[in-house]
Amino acid sequence: MGSSSVDVAIDMAKIELKNVIKSFGNVIAINNISIEIYDREFLVMLGPSGCGKTTTLRAIAGLEDVDAGNILIDDNSVNHLSPADRNISFVFQFYALYPHLTVFDNIAFPLKASKVEKTEIERRVLEVAKTLQIDTSLNRKPKQLSGGEMQRVALGRAMVRRPKAFLMDEPMSNLDAKLRIQMRSELKRLQKKVETTTVFVTHDQIEAMSMADRIAVMHQGEIQQIDPPKKIYNQPKNLFVAQFIGSPAMNLIEGVLESKNSKLVLSLLHTECSFILSDAMAQKMMSQHKLGKIVFGIRPEHVTLSKTPIGYQFETKVHLVEYLGATKIIDVMLGENNHTRTPIFLKSRVHSSFQVFVGESVWINFEEQVIHIFDQESQIAIS
């Protein structure tokens, strides 16, 4: 980025939602959400379409009135304030640039609407344009810009107001894959430079993992987990988070915990796979969970494969090999559900140099410390 001054944003903001509820008819879009977004934090709201993340963002902005609860900015309730009075800038999925205006006039539009002095407008627009590296395009029209440049103009229009916070609703969804990768790093770097609280909505987990200070995973109007990306990935709190984060997704197989000969044994249903848990793990499990049905989970990169049985636990056969360049995804078959007759597969991510063919026998192994165990009924993680 350029070397312009870092006083583009002058106000800081902590945003807090307390027991916020919003419904559209019989559909609950926000279901009693409470969350604190820290000053200068880059928080990403992540979830599938229809989970309530955009409605939450619009509620913070004042574009949606909430049915219950309280929204605070810097400890002051803003429920009664209009969007214009909340001093927050919203960057939409569609850039909504004025096609007849130049880049300069598009960026300057909110300042002109607020009747800011002309020389101050020029100073702020140039400052923001230099920060975004679009200062050489100020006389161009939107139709003359690339997708990345249009995104920068939309960001510039938001930044020039010097808001307390930026709210961004999937601003990169219309960019091609290569440009999205470039803009992810630029946007994160820019946010750290201007030090403005940012709430970013996306359904793309790669965007969330690479950009966020913390991720709030949403599903059916509720926050399932809010933590830094590393913890979201390594310590998912429930089955939804475990399934939603990761590509390929975490392997999840129904299992059962049983006590045999004073040892705790985990068996995967409809397979021949079972193993004895360590005393430490068994003690932890029994303090949180009774014996019975569970869901076993493991990330594909934690499933190791070998062509020889030495040091490996279970023999199986290769079902599918997907070549992904530096790595391969190998599906192995563990068994078949006795009731539905559907096969039970386990995915393994291995280095591309590991040569194996469909139908070939392999042995699998994994370490106890990388497995995940979920209560089957509540779907909550118990290890």
For 143-171, write each residue's pLDDT tens digit.
998 887 888 888 888 888 878 898 989 88
- Single-letter amino acid code for the residue at 28: I
For 22-64, write each residue's pLDDT tens digit.
999 999 999 999 999 999 999 999 999 999 999 999 999 999 9
pLDDT for res 1: 39
**Exposed e or buried b per residue across 28-38, where buried means at least 16 C-beta atoms within 10 angstroms of its C-beta:** bbbbebebebe
pLDDT for res 230: 97
Q: Exposed (0-12), middle (13-18) or buried (19+): which is 283, by Cβ within 10 Å?
A: exposed
pLDDT for res 216: 98
Residues forming a β-bridge with 83: none
Q: Hey, what are 33's tokens? A: 């959400």
CB 13 within 8 A of CB 164: yes
pLDDT for res 11: 56
pLDDT for res 64: 94
Closest CA to 330 of 311, 312, 307, 356: 356
Tell me the torsion sign for CA atoms 362, 365, 371, 374: positive
pLDDT for res 8: 43
Q: Which runs of E-coded beta strand occur in 148-188?
A: 165-169
Q: What is the C-alpha separation between 87 and 81, in angstroms, rounded?
A: 10
Contacts of 117 (CB under 8 A, 6+ apart): none
State which residues of the chain have pLDDT below 70.
1-12
* Token pair 């096609």: residue: 99
For 188-224, write each residue's pLDDT tens digit.
887 888 788 999 999 999 999 999 999 999 999 999 9
pLDDT for res 321: 96
